[in-house]
Structure 1
Amino acid sequence: MHITLGNTPDDTLAAFTARAAEDPGVVGLVLSGSQVHEGMPTVHSDYDLHVILRDRQASELAELDWFRSAHLDLVVIALAEFRTRGMPGRPDHFARYSYVHAQVLLDRLDGTIAQILDEKRRLGADEARAAVDGWLDAYVNQTYRSLKSYRDGHPAMGHLDAAESVPYALEVLFALHRRVRPYNKYLRWELERSPLGDRRWEADRLLPVVRRLLADGDPDTQRALFTDIEEAARKAGHGEVLDSWGTDLELLRHS
């Protein structure tokens, strides 16, 4: 199926959404990406659009799944798949953040599309607790491996493990607030517009820590971050995960 590009991304989006809205097999249109993050679009930004079908046989638009152009990127997905996309345990769980600020452009199901989106925007209470426990254990493990390597005279390997600990640390911090960890592109945007409620996690304090760990894995910086995360995790009731590490935690603490 052919898509005619307009003179601008706005023209292309308008023409395609009008066409999709005339298709009875289309039950929803959802906009995501930089266009739904105020202040983030640039002259290079396109529109990321999800086209939601009753089922994949309901529309010829199904052929356009993963269509890419300078103006428009499409995900064409059946309603049943849309319900679960990005959710825990799914191979596409990485897609969860794309829905956090997504906007509904069309909902033919009396609010069902919006309701599904709302379930993706924040972690449920049980989901958040399980997420913190899992990511916290992974973070401690990676930091412990890093600091052991530094202790044993292998700084290059310690640096690599420190860099790999960063995503786990960010997952913990956001899950503690029932938030979906943003894509790195939007990390500062999220921290500045929706703070995590603790000065230690403000953008101008947390991001230099992240950069230092990525730059050289500095052990003192690792221990300082661990101390702050341990305090926050214990306060939120996740001490059991930490205590399971026993005396190994001493390596992660300031002497």
Structure 2
Amino acid sequence: MTTPDPIAPELSVPPDLILTSAQRALLHEVASRNDRDHGADFLGMVLSGSVARGMATERSDLDVYVVHAQETGRSTTRSPAVDEIPTTLADLEDVSPFASEGWWYRWSFAYAVTLLDRTGGRIEPVVARLAAVDADEQRQILLDHDRLDGWVNYAYRSLKSDRDGRRREARLDAVESIPWLLDVVFTLEGRVRPYHKYLPWELREHPLPHWPGEDLLRLLDATMDGDPAALRETYARVRERCLAHDAASGSTVLQDQVDDWGVELEIFG
């Protein structure tokens, strides 16, 4: 439960959100201007970016989603102090699937702060939904979009190149495997993969239930060096999580996907 901080009409700011006086004034100006220009069609404001997550520096701006009932004809405006991003409630509630243009923006709502909601409580739940991956999406990402098989493929190719003495090629495939791996890891936890800038922060502040953050960062660092031991340890951990996911869902779909590699999996041993 947050204590309202009336920096602008109806705006509520969590007490632990750090804002400068200039930032408070900017939020007041954005809210007041949209209230004046759009009236009842102005439904809410959501603060994203480094400021919302407590990672702001002296160069950080405010990233503000302004929610309207219908299209306003306005586009995103950017300045060194504030990025104002207009959207509609319908657009927020229309959750963009993996690999679509809108997918890239979904993590921007992770740990965002709802400053204003005139919808009777519809904004905050949809913000949380945008940063989550449900069971149907998990299957689509891991299997239909081949993120699990793709990661195994790049790790396998890296290990083959290392075995054959092609170190540069091994490093290249190891590095290429990392985005696929992060999609797998976070999807299995029901979360959208964070932007790289925020990865260590999220692992520290919002730990993955089944994968200690320091272990993951250590393996990522070693993978970027093309370390075959890191790829093998990562494979064992991924397989363990896939088996656990299958057991929880009463299926063997992820295990079957990996086991389709047959004897080629011996290289991970």
Report the TM-score range of the alignment, normalised by the length of the smaller protein: 0.7 to 0.9
Aligned match for 1:182, one of 165, 171, 194: 194
* Residue of structure 1 equivalent to 2:139: 129
Aligned match for 1:104, one of 108, 114, 134: 114
Deviation at 1:145, TM superposition (A): 1.9
Q: Which structure's relative contact order is higher, taking Cα pairs within 8 Å and 6+ residues apart?
A: 1
How many residue pairs end up in the alignment? 239
* Residue of structure 2 equivalent to 1:10: 24
Deviation at 1:106, TM superposition (A): 2.1
* Residue of structure 2 equivalent to 1:3: none
For 1:186-205, list aligned pairs within 5 A.
Answer: 186-198=198-210, 201-205=211-215
Deviation at 1:69, TM superposition (A): 1.0
Comparing 115-124 and 137-146, the one that deviates more: 115-124
- 8 Å CA contact retained: 1:67, 1:75: yes
Cα-Cα RMSD: 2.1
- 8 Å CA contact retained: 2:151, 2:181: yes
Change (3 A) 1:7 1:178: closer
The amino acid of 1:137's aligned partner reads D
Deviation at 1:165, TM superposition (A): 0.8
- 8 Å CA contact retained: 2:175, 2:226: yes
- 8 Å CA contact retained: 1:46, 1:70: yes
Deviation at 1:72, TM superposition (A): 0.3
The amino acid of 1:224's aligned partner reads E
Q: TM-score, normalised by structure 1?
A: 0.85
| Distance across 2 between alignment mates of 1:232 and 1:241 | 13
| Distance across 2 between alignment mates of 1:234 and 1:181 | 21
The amino acid of 1:239's aligned partner reads Q
* Residue of structure 2 equivalent to 1:50: 65
For 1:31-110, list aligned pairs within 5 A.
Answer: 31-38=47-54, 40-56=55-71, 59=72, 62-63=73-74, 65-84=75-94, 86-110=96-120
| Distance across 2 between alignment mates of 1:7 and 1:125 | 43
- 8 Å CA contact retained: 1:87, 1:120: no
In structure 2, list runs of 5 or more residues that go unmatched: 1-19, 247-253
Q: TM-score, normalised by structure 2?
A: 0.81
| Distance across 1 between alignment mates of 2:86 and 2:108 | 15
In structure 1, list runs of 5 or more residues that go unmatched: 1-5
- 8 Å CA contact retained: 1:192, 1:202: no
